[in-house]
Structure 1
Amino acid sequence: MLPYWIALVLTLTAAAASAADPCRDPQTQAEMTRCAGEDYARADRELNAVYAQVRTALPEAERERLKLAQRAWIASRDADCELEPYGARGGSMEPMLMAACKADRTAQRTKWLKSLVEEGAR
């Protein structure tokens, strides 16, 4: 009888955790889209924090180049991510695919920006 109770407690604990964070196991397209949007928002916050660090670390003469490069990168990322979900254009998956694309590209850019600071420190 004890294993039944243990299994029941574990199942209820997992269900409560999933209910508390629907992004652990999204079940509907709306949840998946919301979670992809949250992933993108998190990636964007990290990018902005790293960008501020890079601006501070760069010599004054390089800051304008960084700003121009970042603006060009944003335009490129957004254009790429507009194209990425072409197979789902107009469907319920389109916003999720766009947010996932932006989250992925933004994380890649953050990694690259971090490398600028790391390379400059050497």
Structure 2
Amino acid sequence: MIVRFSAVCGLALWASCGLAADACRDPQTQAEMTYCAGEDYTLADRELNAVYARVRAAVPEAERERLRAAQLAWIKLRDLDCDLAAFGVRGGSIESMTITGCKTQHTNQRIEWLRSLLAESL
């Protein structure tokens, strides 16, 4: 937790200094790569929330609690899977980037799965 917290704090300071604006075009340092992984995850998470809201609106009211429970369980599974995926780099400078990249990949897969629910309901 301390490693992640300090990395996030450092990245927040780095971004607030204006250094992050062009960094994701061609990240060269570990800090840039970690920052860019965070940016990718932020975009995926926003899209996930938008698609989830559309699915929630499309499913019958009687199914909404199942959808909510499934989504919460999926989030927990994603986070645990991604924490495990970083076992080989635990404590290293790429740990947080590895976890974030994993979360982005799983989130994008979930987006596609949720979209398939929308396609089936049409």
Scaled by the length of structure 2, the TM-score of the pair is 0.82
- State the alpha-carbon separation in 2 of the partners of residues 23 and 57 from structure 1: 36
Matched to 1:90, the amino acid is G
Task: After the TM superposition, list the runs of 4 or more consecutive aligned residues in structure 1 that deviate by more than 4 angstroms.
Answer: none
Which aligned pairs between 1:25-64 and structure 2 lie closer than 5 A? 25-64=26-65
- Considering only CA atoms, is the larger Rg found in Structure 1 or Structure 2? 1
Shift of 1:21: 2.1
Matched to 2:92, the amino acid is G
Superposed CA RMSD: 1.0
Instruction: String of CA shifts for 1:33-85, please: whole Å, max 9, x gaps.
Output: 00001100100000000000000000001111000000000000000000001
Which aligned pairs between 1:1-122 and structure 2 lie closer than 5 A? 20-121=21-122
Could you tell me the percent identity over the aligned residues? 66
Question: What stretches of structure 2 of length at least 5 have no aligned partner?
Answer: 1-19
How many positions carry a matched residue from both structures? 103
C-alpha spacing 1:20/1:67, structure 2 compared with 1 (3 Å) = closer
Question: What stretches of structure 1 of length at least 5 have no aligned partner?
Answer: 1-18
SS in 2 for 1:106: helix
SS in 2 for 1:91: coil
SS in 2 for 1:26: coil
Scaled by the length of structure 1, the TM-score of the pair is 0.82
